[in-house]
Structure 1
Amino acid sequence: MNKRPLYFDYAATTPVDERVIKVMVECLGFNGNFGNPASSSHAFGQQARQTVEQARRQVAELVGAQADQIVWTSGATESNNLALKGVAQARGVSGGHIITSQIEHKAILDTAKQLQDTGVAVTYLVPDAEGLITPQAVSEAMREDTFLVSLMLVNNELGTVNDIAAIGQVVRDRDALFHVDAAQGAGKVAIDLARLPVDLMSFSAHKIYGPKGIGALYVGPRAHQRLLAQIHGGGHEGGLRSGTLATHQIAAMGVAFALAAAAFDEEKATIVRLRERLLEQLLSIPGVRLNGSPTQRIPHTLSLTFNEGEFNSAALSSSIAFSATSACNSASNAPSHVLLALGHDARSAGRTIRLSLGRFTTEQDVDQAAQLIKAACASAPAFWQ
């Protein structure tokens, strides 16, 4: 059996924590907590409902929200769609203006494009040289008809962290709504929605050691009456998202968020130490540069560009699981839109890799990865021709 590669792609997805798996399994099978949580007329449904509401509280506690402000979805992509389309359609009039950026996740960019096709004007902000969207840039882009601003908390390729508190205040002063995609931020950045001027925030379980297929949207008090459901059929989740709730996935997401809250400080300190160990070794390679702000970032994600002719990422594919960010989505081999927005050309984007660390990364993993990457940096100019 071939040895499994080192895993350095936590930003793409995390393995489900064994403690989370245990909770999921307990919700399956006839002897488990399998009831329909929408049915409260018998013990099976009541038990499932209690589990769902406990998970809702667990998710809310990590991000400083009220439990009744958490709406279950199938993941951050659905949450993003609900936020953008729901706000646009709830206005009841055509046109208007929203602001996002060139370096958002495709779940935002593609949704914004769809809204453009319906007559909504969209401004795509250009990041600064450090991969950040500044409050000033948002302020300058605001218009009289701006009704929504949507920006990510943590960039999924760079790991840079936007100042959503300052940006949110700019947006609130103009009476628009502020949506934040926090799929990469929950459990990594301290979030307090009781204080932040944020109206909508998207979350995903599989980025925080929970299962795929479950996520949530925070809906704050300013947004609740300005959001139109996108999935109908029963009026579940306060009328914002119909469908029978997946108790096993929801319970798992709740535990994943609770575990992240309990280990927040310790886990962050460990990742910082491992990141510094890895970065120190990789920056000793001539010409390697770190993309994005060196300070306003999470420690988990590194985007590194290598000199032309000095790095063969294909040589690492069997030994390290990482992201070759030259592909911005699974359906395209085009250069990363994030890197292009930062001023990279297609060739330098193709010499860029994303390494992301997580809960199960060890010092041995870091040292082995650094050695393998250094070995791949033998001169190979023909590789790029």
Structure 2
Amino acid sequence: MKIVAFVGETFDSYNGNYYTKQTSAAFLQDAIGTESVYVCSPVKKVASLPLSYSTEVNESHFYPFPSYSSTKDFAIKSLFQRGYIKSYKLNADKVIAEHSGAYFWIRSPSMGSLLFGIQALNAGEKVLHHMCADSSSTWKDPKYSFSEKVFGFLFSKYLRIKLKKICEHKNTINLCTGDVLETFSAKYSPKNTYQFVDLMAKKPGNIAPTLKRKTLFKMLFLGRIVKDKGVFDLIQVANQLKEKVELTIIGDGADLDEAKQLVDSLSLQETVTFTGLLPNSELSEYYNQTDVVVVPSNNHYEGFPRVIMEGWAFNKPVIVSNTGGVKAFVKHNVNGLIFSPGNMQELSDSVNKLATDEVLYSQLQAEAKKMSVYSSQHYWIDFLKSLIAK
């Protein structure tokens, strides 16, 4: 088996290898072997080895594509940069012809991936379409101006047309992360649509026994430190409940410094801890020590955050906002608590409820343990292989 994957993230090029943070390429390498996975993606050259990365690809298995920083950037370059789309199609056709008969993995809503997938389908190849985020409503984000929202709305309609074309094709297997994306895909291809999570976490071998409730209720946030991930709301909740809680924040991102400044301004240095980005091998300690994993996103593009299943793998309940596809697996008051995105009071109430109601906590923890069957990379690798075998 061979898979050629267009993953969309920008890789760092250094000394004959390509590096980036966690991607589905790393999942595929674990699933079928590094030598059987070829990767296409934008690149940039760097002067030194990246300090942290989760995906590494040798140059013999990598195809550089023209760079773009976002869907908006791709759209602008397509409209105003002469030959930009043509170069993408020519590069795609060359790679597809070289690996004819392989499976071609694309990851929407990356525009480069969508274009690559359409070229592969036009060539009669089989496409594994991983739908990991919903870009149809990102134009609603308040950070955009009116003109940007109009442009974004129109472009989202164009994206939907392309997604429909890929989803309904007879040579496509649609792998949807979250219930919203699954519902969309199933409208066009009910027999070739499946729920899927490209989970990197291995089954933990060192789950700590349940500890007696500590004086302080420990919360864990793991992800990109940007405002639309809700991390600033969570810091404010930690301030409201600082006599009851502790918060550990793992990750980095564009708004990390601003988040640290907020913690300093609220004098929360004893309540909130930043660890920076950590390799997967170091996360077990933090999952074992926490009481709850919190996913407070307030954006319009979430699929199903993998950190939810990583928390369940360690038998931890979750508190999540009702964004994207979380309801594919999270059931309110069963294996987690769900609150309205951006509603800080509901988030605070959820944390306080779980911190003070030991009966509810025990019930949610027991159900989280039942979800651990889905919470390992091995499960999803076997699931993917079974689909391909069919």
Higher helix share: 2
TM-score by length of 2: 0.27
Instruction: Name the structure with the higher strand share.
Output: 2
TM-score by length of 1: 0.28
| Higher RCO (Cα < 8 Å, 6 or more apart) | 1
